[in-house]
Amino acid sequence: MVRLCRSQTRSDPPIDLRSLDPTARRDILRAAGEHAVLGLCLAGFQRSGAFSRWPDDEVAELSRELSRLRRQAALWDLERDRILTLASRRGVHPVVLKGAALRTLVYREPVERAIGDLDLLVGPEAYEEALQVLTEAGYENRDPPEVRSALRLHHFHDRLRGPGGFAVELHWGLQPSRAPFALPVDDMLARSVESGNEDIQMRALCPEDTLLHIVSQSLEDGFAQVRRIVDLDRIVVRYADLDWDAVVGNAEEAGLTRMTALALDLSRALLGTSVPNAAMVRLRPPRKVQRHLRLLSTAPVSVAASRRGRSAPADALYLALIDRPKTRLRHTLRLFRGRLDPIRWVFEEERSAGPSIRMWGPLRAAKLVAFVVISYVTGATLRFTPAGRLRWRTCARALPYGALTTEEEVWPASDGKTSESAPSNAQMPNK
């Protein structure tokens, strides 16, 4: 699946999709659905000519699914354009975030970037006016008063439901109140630009700010979504003149350097994204942190579990990627006390502080400590067997400071460093 995502970004020889056996095809599509890149993979299958050598009944089913996804993408784009038109008439110009903007700006066609809602960002002076626009467009906030108050205090957007099953998240910020980083919303709004094509014009974050915003979203996902890594790759490919000095400077100011380094290293390793070495040198954390992350990568636990709730691997990664020591200590103490996410109950629809809530913090902390201990023991043990040493060296060469993977090996880079473009015939992780 990852190789298919990569093959759509540049002119290197495509992988042979036509000869895949039925089991491999089902596995690719299952994984693609889990990582929200099903439209991207189906469009890649169609463009590659793979359908011409597959059974007619299977091709018909996949073609119907691709057509359904294209219709769904078109409906989302029409709804986005309707809202932007209504807002423009009222003098409100929201910034379109994440997939709703990227699918038009950096992807080949909208179906390649799935979305589940429209994310719009406005300044505080325009928030009530934007809310009124959405109300007139048929949207309503169905959250009870206590949830709205909690979101306003600790979160960064309201959730509105509209006709036809559409949803809008109206943002006044870009991270929770207790996030270990701080994206400067006012500065990013000031740097936002008019973007789009001949069909639609919209305001979007500038490419450098878009990249950092996607990095922050990757951290919230526990780096478990291939979709976010593909977003980064598409941004870099689309904007060849990306200002890397600005990316590094803004990441340092926001406290996102380690997170940005890991996200870009994953994109380089998995998708062959071309990132200047000078930028990576400035972003990468100290060697002791690199060793710590490499040790975490050796544990036989998948970070993908974080998509079903914050897991111990995701917690360990989250804490290790915090730039500032005081912020890291504060978040560690909050985690042990069960106070890292004060609005967890909102998203899990738990309205009372019952035993599960009271015990959540200590249990979560115990799992984190156990995972770190297992990681260090596993990492140390690997050094005493030939197979373990090979795995350690292979992981170290491919992902310089141990990005968490679920496979035993990833491809080695011949020079001992992360390559600018990984070989197309390399062994790829299932994700």
Determine the 3-state secondary structure of 171 from DSSP: strand
Which spans in 184-324 are helix H?
Answer: 185-191, 207-220, 226-238, 244-254, 257-271, 277-283, 287-296, 312-320
pLDDT at 99: 94
Q: What DSSP assignment string belongs to 38-67?
A: HHHHHHHHHHHTGGGGS-HHHHHHHHHHHH
Taking residues 6-22, report their average pLDDT: 62
Query: How does strand 157-161 pair with strand 118-121?
Result: unpaired
Better pLDDT: 403 or 334: 334
Distance linking the first and last C-alpha atoms of the chain: 6
Q: Which of 36-40, 44-48, 243-247, 293-297 has the highest mean pLDDT?
A: 243-247
Q: What is the pLDDT of residue 310?
A: 58
Encoding tokens for residue 269?
A: 């390793």
CA dist., res. 263 & res. 267, Å (int):
6
Percentage of the chain surpassing pLDDT 90?
45
Is residue 5 pLDDT above 70, yes or no?
A: yes
Domain ranges of the chain: 289-398
pLDDT band at 25 (very low <50, low <70, confident <90, very high): confident
State the Cα–Cα distance between residues 252 and 152, nearest whole angstrom: 27
What is the spatial distance between Cα 96 and Cα 118, in angstroms, rounded to a whole number?
8
Q: In the numeric block, which tokens belong to residue 199?
A: 């069909």
| pLDDT (tens digit per residue) in 278-322 | 999 999 888 888 888 877 775 544 334 444 445 788 888 889 999
* pLDDT tens per residue across span 76-99: 999 999 999 999 999 999 999 999
Instruction: Concatenate the DSSP letters of all residues of 293-325 into one string.
Output: HHHHTTSS--GGGGBTB--HHHHHHHHHT-SSH
Q: What is the mean pLDDT of residues 227-244?
A: 94
Q: Which residue has the higher pLDDT, 351 or 154?
A: 154
Residues in CB range of 103: below 8 A, 6 or more apart: 73, 77, 110, 112, 113, 115
| More confident position, 249 or 10 | 249
Residue 60 token pair:
């018909």
One-letter amino acid at 342 equals P
| 3-class secondary-structure state, position 168 | strand
- Across all residues in the chain, what is the average pLDDT? 81
| Per-residue pLDDT at 353 | 43
Q: What is the secondary structure of 120-151 as a DSSP string?
A: EE--GGGHHHHHHHHHHTT-B--S-HHHHHHH
- pLDDT score of 59: 87
Classify each residue of 178-215 as buried b or exposed e, where b means 16 or more C-beta atoms within 10 Å of its C-beta. ebbbebebeebbeebeebbeeeeebbbbbbbbbbbbbb
Q: Which of 119-133, 178-192, 395-409 has the lowest mean pLDDT?
A: 395-409
Give the C-alpha separation, 171 to 165, whole Å.
19
Long-range pairs for 159-166: beta carbons < 8 A, 24 or more residues apart: 160/134, 162/79, 162/134, 162/137, 162/138, 163/138, 164/75, 164/79, 166/76, 166/79, 166/117, 166/118, 166/139
* Pairwise pLDDT comparison (63 vs 200), residue with the higher score: 63
pLDDT tens digits, 114-140 = 999 999 999 999 999 999 999 999 999
Q: What is the pLDDT of residue 287?
A: 85
Cα separation, 67 vs 93, whole angstroms: 32
> Which pLDDT value is given to residue 393?
62
Residue 242 confidence (pLDDT):
95
**Cβ atoms < 10 Å from Cβ of 367:** 16
Burial class (CB in 10 A: 0-12, 13-18, 19+), 46: middle
